[in-house]
Amino acid sequence: MANGYLAGGVVILSADGSGLPVVETAPPECPVGYRLKSGWDGAGTSITQTWELVPEEGTAQEAALALSRMQFQSLPDEAAYLVRALADQYVDGMTCYGPDNDAGMPVTRVNYYGDLYRFIGSGVQVMQPGWNPVAAPSLWARILPGQEGSGDEGPQPWEQPDSTNGYSEGDRVTHNGRLWESLVDDNVDEPGTDNGFRWKDLGPAEGVDA
């Protein structure tokens, strides 16, 4: 097995065996109207080949996906979370638009290893190596389940936010077997620890343990 490095989505094999193991994978079956697009995932202990189904150019599937992705960035967070599979995958070199951009573009949201992130950097920026949502948290805010009603099936378990993605007034979450509603914006406190100033206890959360 060869070793190498992942740079800008390209695998660079090393001659001296340094770097991470490069793991090639078999392509999945490809239905009619689609093609397979190969990529690489270097987030773990190896660089593993990935596959994505992409609609063939000129097909109805391709047109529908393109239209959906154009509309995606204009959705509010709660709706975007429900269809987060439409978000573009983060890649180095992509152009991202912040909330104060002069281009009049919607704020960029990306999918990074299954989580949805909102770009909070200034203006318009081209992503450089090391600027991904995990490595550069000052540029990104993770959209948490339960924020602005974004849970797939009602209120979701509370997760500890940071200073960039606190819960908003009206958000509902479950925590320690109870249902809570945020009373303020930018709420980063844990429900039940704030003496009722930032979270309202709505009673037992039926059917959940969190």
**pLDDT, position 128:** 93
pLDDT of 191 > 60? The answer is: yes
Alpha helices in 23-152 (DSSP H): 60-72, 77-82
For the chain, list the domains and their CATH numbers: 3-54 (no CATH), 73-142 (2.10.10.20), 146-210 (2.10.10.20)
Quick: pLDDT tens for 5-30: 988 788 999 999 999 999 999 988 87
**pLDDT, position 208:** 54
Quick: pLDDT tens for 151-178: 455 678 888 988 888 888 888 889 999 9
Q: In what order do the strands lie in the sheet containing 178-182?
A: 156-157, 172-175, 178-182, 199-204
**pLDDT, position 153:** 58
- Please tell me whether residue 38 adopts helix, strand or coil conformation: strand
